[in-house]
């Protein structure tokens, strides 16, 4: 088994690292406080111009065609400095991949290119509703075909990037008489569509520069040709694409966890108590050893899931394992990093408290840890029958 990155992957990783250090890190704290909003969006467009919004997208649509391992590496490097930027990169890549996988040539040409030539900062993946989170099959948003238009009614909740999204991938029930597996369809809705309203951003614990909103469809009309993929196939599309997105969220958590623990390890060799560096105490060493071990295991799980995706193997279970493990391990690591920093870790003088807040949601969105465990157990148990 070869764990070496290719030359191309190394270059992409280094380019992402340089961009993160030079263009994002100096502003990350301000982004968290709701400042420098224009810079946040400009950074996203510049990341797009470098191919980072379409890492697994074909070059004919402006993508980097670099694969899912490169995607994981980029999200990790950006998350080391700013989770809000990293989650937008992850969702944008996921949106592009949905269109690449089921869209027609016209849709691919228009919408994926928008995401990959720096034309827009973001697009949104609108699946969840207030009463349909872990169970998206219970969604209530509906679409009906009238003449040459689909008319959408309903509400979506928690939609990342909604205020600055150029377009939305939206799931809606198109046939109530069928089961969700054949009664839900998927649409592309432009941000200026009549009848689409964006709610105010939700006030969150972390990832504050990334806006999360309700979106409301009130007799929202989209052209017939905005149906994405086959009518009734939407649920399968959503479930399939979420697996790839989970590699992104696990990679995001890994980046924050690594950065937090590296800061803590450096601090431990500088901070002196009882006339010793705190790194001399076994209690501190064990926190460092446990966290780096768990983060390394996370990295390998993520690379394995990404490798399987790139190789055309099934990867949904591996992506769930990687997402569940990496997000939980990174949450533990950031807890320990603050512990190693003592009182300093609890202050806003250091970015650890932001990391801690930013990490918390990673075990919740794109499928909670409980849902990942259900997916993993289901895959294992079906082989036992």
Ligand X SMILES: Cc1cc2nc3c(=O)[nH]c(=O)nc-3n(C[C@H](O)[C@H](O)[C@H](O)COP(=O)(O)OP(=O)(O)OC[C@H]3O[C@@H](n4cnc5c(N)ncnc54)[C@H](O)[C@@H]3O)c2cc1C
Phi, psi of 213 (to 5 degrees): -135, 160
Whether 87 contacts 160, CB under 8 Å: yes
Return the residue matching tokens 């071990």.
293
Q: Which is nearer to ligand X, 95 or 329 (CB)?
A: 95
Q: Which is nearer to ligand X, 278 or 359 (CB)?
A: 359
69: helix, strand or coil: helix
Least separation in angstroms between CB 147 and ligand X: 29
Q: Which of 329, 208, 206 is nearest to 261 (CA)?
A: 329
Q: Which is nearer to ligand X, 64 or 91 (CB)?
A: 91
Q: Is the dihedral of CA 123, 102, 186, 107 positive or negative?
A: positive
Least separation in angstroms between CB 311 and ligand X: 27
Q: Which is nearer to ligand X, 341 or 365 (CB)?
A: 365
Residue of closest CB approach to ligand X:
133
Per DSSP (E only), the strands in the chain are 122-126, 142-146, 149-160, 165-173, 184-190, 196-201, 212-223, 227-228, 272-273, 276-277
Q: Is 270 a catalytic residue?
A: no
Per annotation, catalytic residue among 241, 366, 370, 379: 366
Least separation in angstroms between CB 124 and ligand X: 6
CB count in 10 Å sphere of residue 365: 18
Least separation in angstroms between CB 367 and ligand X: 6
Applying CB under 6 A, the residues found at the interface with ligand X are 91, 124-128, 133-134, 158-160, 204, 207, 212, 361, 364-368, 370-371, 374
What residues are labeled active site? Answer: 366
């Amino acid at each position: 088994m070869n764990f070496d990155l290719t030359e191309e992957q190394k270059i992409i990783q280094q380019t992402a690292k340089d961009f993160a250090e030079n263009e994002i890190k100096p502003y990350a704290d301000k982004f968290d406080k709701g400042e420098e909003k224009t810079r946040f969006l400009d950074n996203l467009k510049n990341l797009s111009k470098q191919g980072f919004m379409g890492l697994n997208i074909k070059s004919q649509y402006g993508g980097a065609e670099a694969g899912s391992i490169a995607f994981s590496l980029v999200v990790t490097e950006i998350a080391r400095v700013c989770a809000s930027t990293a989650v937008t990169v992850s969702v944008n890549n996921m949106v592009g991949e949905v269109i690449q996988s089921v869209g027609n040539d016209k849709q691919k040409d228009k919408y994926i290119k928008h995401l990959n030539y720096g034309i827009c900062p973001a697009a949104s993946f609108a699946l969840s509703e207030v009463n349909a989170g872990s169970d998206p099959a219970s969604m209530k948003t509906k679409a009906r075909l009238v003449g040459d238009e689909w008319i959408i009614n309903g509400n979506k909740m928690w939609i990342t990037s909604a205020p600055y999204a150029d377009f939305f991938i939206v799931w809606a029930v198109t046939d109530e008489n069928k089961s969700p597996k054949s009664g839900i369809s998927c649409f592309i809705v432009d941000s200026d569509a009549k009848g689409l309203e964006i709610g105010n951003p939700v006030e969150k614990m972390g990832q504050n520069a990334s806006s999360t909103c309700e979106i409301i469809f009130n007799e929202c009309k989209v052209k017939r040709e905005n149906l994405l993929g086959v009518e009734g196939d939407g649920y399968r599309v959503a479930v399939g694409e979420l697996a790839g997105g989970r590699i992104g969220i696990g990679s995001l958590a890994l980046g924050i966890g690594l950065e937090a623990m590296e800061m803590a390890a450096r601090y431990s060799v500088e901070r002196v108590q009882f006339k010793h560096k705190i790194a001399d105490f076994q209690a501190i060493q064990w926190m460092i050893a446990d966290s780096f071990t768990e983060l390394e295991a996370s990295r390998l799980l993520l690379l394995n899931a990404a490798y399987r995706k790139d190789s055309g193997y099934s990867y949904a279970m591996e992506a769930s394992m990687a997402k569940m493990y990496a997000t939980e391990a990174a949450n533990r690591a950031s807890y320990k990093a603050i512990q190693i920093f003592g009182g300093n870790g609890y202050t806003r003088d250091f970015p650890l408290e932001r990391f801690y807040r930013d990490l918390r949601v990673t075990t919740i969105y794109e499928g909670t840890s409980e849902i990942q465990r259900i997916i993993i157990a289901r895959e294992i148990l079906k082989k036992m029958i």
